[in-house]
């Protein structure tokens, strides 16, 4: 059972619509996330039972739930749509977890809502399992993200280009308030709603900040500031693991700074800043290297939506938000440098670091180097002052090994300076690097294989991926096949939203 304690539904009625999930034919539980269930105080064995399947598919609305679809708007690929909203998701309710934090429990794929427009409100098995695996992998990597409590199949088919098995994901998030939620009310010039949403979001997500400000104007500016900090950090972390979100629309930009909406996302195999996977991202707007600037663009849309609340005089408000938005670059650069120094085994700051890092990435791009393997193998190189065989293992990742042999001495000189400064031992450095450079990421080709198997009724690859990816920084020789880069012909080049 769920111990719901619902707040969002207490916000004014124009924030949401009551909606009952659609009943499905034959719900069957495919996965239950034990540790997350435990955190939420929900009995995992119950979730896995038929009663659990009924609740997780929306066939039975559990006691205490207040099922609602949330209203929001959003910029999609740069174009504003004033009317989006949960078209295939229903918020069941909120639970305060054992850690004292409140979280949303949402069914994704549970049928049409008043916001469905032309869509069927459904989700297919593939995208549900994909989101389950990738969101939980992100969590295990230590990157802020929504999570997956369960996946159920519906026993029905959903019609996409071809008929596909249907499924429902139970998504758990600190909040589903997005930049697009603010835009929804700004587009309607609904200042009262903007103020209520600001207060709600600040108190929910940033209670310490909420306690230090008074009034709507201060609250809005403080919320903007916290969102900027959260996204500067989040995107820096994405860049550190080669994550391409793929659809960074403002409706997929959470105020909590959690990664949300695992549609066409993918992890880089070979490093390429221009890399995009999404089949609908024709211009490469959301390419890997564009993500920091897109995050800032999305935050600027949040700022815009809050202008009225911040100051009735537009110029005054604009000046205040600009000052905040201008902090994004330095916050991102700082977070990024910290992420990269950890990856390179450099604990202290030096003004030459940025150049060293930039030089490295130029070489990686020019040599089609597997992003994840490169950094993981670098941990072995760092384990001792000279390590010819570890060196060779890295060099062989490069189409032009000279690029590595040119850069390595610069990096080694930096490590030597660290050593001279009394830094950690080589062994400690290597261990610390292993905690910053995952051996396992959800490889795109493995995800596709996993989905293909699941469609044939074989969940073993799905379960195995979850187990392995729960410990991404731990060497697991028996699972080396999941760490391996795809062969050229195995590379996934396009991903789909799956809507
Ligand atoms: P997304 O691309 O997943 O961020 O979704 C963008 C918008 O389309 C949101 O308002 C979704 O609720 C809506 N949407 C996506 N897929 C469906 C679907 N199958 N049925 C109804 N609405 C959908
Ligand atoms: Mg979305």
Pocket test for ligand 1, best of 19, 88, 178 (most atoms within 8 A of CB): 88
What is the model's pLDDT at position 499? Answer: 55
**Active site residue ranges:** 251
176 ligand 1 Cβ < 6 A: no
The per-residue DSSP string of 133-182 comes to HHHHHHHHHT--B-EEEEEEEEEEEEESSSEEEEEEEEEEES---BHHHH
Q: Within its chain, how far is the Cα of 230 from the centroid?
A: 12
Report which ligand 1 atom has the smallest distance to the Cα of 122: 19
DSSP class of residue 259 equals B
Count of helices and strands (H, E) across the chain: 19, 12
497 ligand 1 Cβ < 6 A: yes
Q: Which residues of the chain have pLDDT under 70?
A: 498-499
If one counts every other C-beta atom within 10 angstroms of the C-beta of residue 82, the result is 13
> 85, 187, 169: which is closest to 127 by C-alpha?
169
Reading the block at residue 499, the tokens are 């809507």
122 ligand 1 Cβ < 6 A: yes
Asked whether 152 and 29 are in contact (CB, 8 A), the reply is yes
What is the model's pLDDT at position 498? Answer: 65
Which pTM does this prediction carry?
0.98
Per residue in 16-31, pLDDT tens?
A: 999 999 999 999 999 9
Distance CA 330, CA 347 (A): 19
Distance 133 CA to ligand 1 centre (A): 20
334 ligand 1 Cβ < 6 A: no
Asked whether 62 and 2 are in contact (CB, 8 A), the reply is yes
The per-residue DSSP string of 405-453 comes to HHHHHHHHHHHHHHHHTT---HHHHHHHHHTTS-S----HHHHHHHHHH
Ligand nearest to the CA of 86: 1
What is the model's pLDDT at position 475? Answer: 97
What is the model's pLDDT at position 170? Answer: 98
Phi and psi, residue 398, nearest 5° = -90, 135
Distance CA 59, CA 54 (A): 5
The per-residue DSSP string of 202-219 comes to HHHH-HHHHHT--HHHHH
247 ligand 1 Cβ < 6 A: yes
Distance CA 178, CA 184 (A): 10
Residue list, CB under 5 A from ion ligand 2? 252, 261
Nearest alpha carbon, ligand 1 atom 13: 87
Ligand nearest to the CA of 119: 1
What is the model's pLDDT at position 64? Answer: 98
- DSSP-based helix, strand, coil % in the chain, nearest 5: 50, 15, 35
Asked whether 261 and 296 are in contact (CB, 8 A), the reply is no
Region of 425 on the Ramachandran plot (φ > 0 left; ψ -120 to 50 alpha; else beta)? beta
280 ligand 1 Cβ < 6 A: no
Distance 199 CA to ligand 2 centre (A): 23
Distance 107 CA to ligand 2 centre (A): 13
What is the model's pLDDT at position 160? Answer: 94
Distance 251 CA to ligand 2 centre (A): 6
Distance CA 207, CA 317 (A): 24
Distance 53 CA to ligand 2 centre (A): 25
């Amino acid at each position: 059972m769920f111990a719901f304690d619902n707040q969002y539904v207490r916000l004014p009625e124009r924030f949401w619509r009551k909606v009952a999930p659609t009943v499905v034919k034959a719900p069957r539980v495919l996965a239950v996330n034990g540790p997350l269930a435990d955190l939420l105080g929900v009995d995992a064995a119950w979730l896995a039972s038929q009663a659990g399947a009924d609740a997780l598919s929306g066939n039975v609305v559990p006691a205490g739930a207040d099922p609602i679809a949330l209203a929001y708007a959003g910029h999609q690929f740069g174009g504003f749509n004033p009317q989006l909203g949960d078209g295939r998701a229903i918020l069941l309710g909120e639970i305060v977890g054992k850690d004292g934090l409140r979280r949303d429990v949402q069914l994704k794929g549970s049928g049409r809502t008043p916001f469905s427009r032309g869509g069927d409100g459904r989700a297919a098995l593939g995208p549900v399992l994909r989101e389950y695996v990738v969101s939980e992998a992100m969590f295990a990597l230590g990157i802020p993200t929504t999570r997956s409590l369960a996946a159920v199949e519906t026993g029905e088919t959903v019609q996409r280009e071809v008929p596909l098995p249907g499924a429902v994901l139970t998504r758990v998030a600190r909040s589903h308030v997005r930049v697009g939620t603010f835009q929804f009310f700004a587009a309607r010039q609904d200042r009262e709603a903007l103020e209520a949403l600001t207060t709600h979001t600040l108190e929910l997500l940033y209670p310490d900040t909420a306690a230090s400000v008074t009034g709507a104007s201060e609250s809005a500016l403080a919320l903007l500031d916290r969102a900027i900090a959260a996204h500067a950090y989040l995107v820096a972390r994405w860049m550190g693991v080669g994550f391409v979100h793929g659809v960074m629309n403002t409706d997929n930009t959470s105020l909590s700074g959690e990664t949300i909406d695992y549609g066409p996302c993918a992890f880089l195999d070979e490093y390429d800043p221009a890399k995009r996977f999404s089949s609908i991202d024709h211009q490469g707007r959301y390419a890997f290297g564009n993500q920091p600037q897109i995050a800032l663009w999305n935050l600027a849309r949040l700022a815009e939506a809050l202008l009225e609340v911040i100051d009735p005089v537009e110029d005054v408000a604009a000046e205040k938000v600009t000052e905040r938005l201008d902090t994004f670059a330095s916050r991102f650069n700082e977070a990024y440098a910290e992420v990269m120094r950890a990856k390179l085994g450099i604990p202290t700051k030096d003004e030459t670091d940025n150049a060293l890092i930039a030089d490295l990435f130029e070489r990686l791009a020019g040599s089609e180097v597997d992003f994840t393997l490169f950094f993981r193998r670098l941990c072995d190189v760092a384990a001792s002052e000279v390590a010819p065989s570890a060196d060779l293992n890295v060099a062989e990742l490069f189409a032009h090994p000279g690029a590595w042999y040119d850069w390595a001495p610069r990096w080694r000189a930096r490590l030597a300076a660290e050593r001279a400064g009394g830094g950690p031992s080589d062994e400690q450095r290597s261990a610390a690097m292993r905690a910053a450079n995952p051996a396992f990421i959800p490889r795109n080709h493995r995800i596709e294989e996993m989905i293909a198997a699941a469609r044939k009724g074989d969940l073993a690859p799905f379960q195995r991926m979850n187990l392995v990816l729960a410990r991404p920084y731990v060497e697991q020789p028996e699972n080396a096949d999941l760490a391996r880069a795809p062969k050229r012909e195995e590379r996934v080049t396009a991903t789909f939203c799956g809507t």
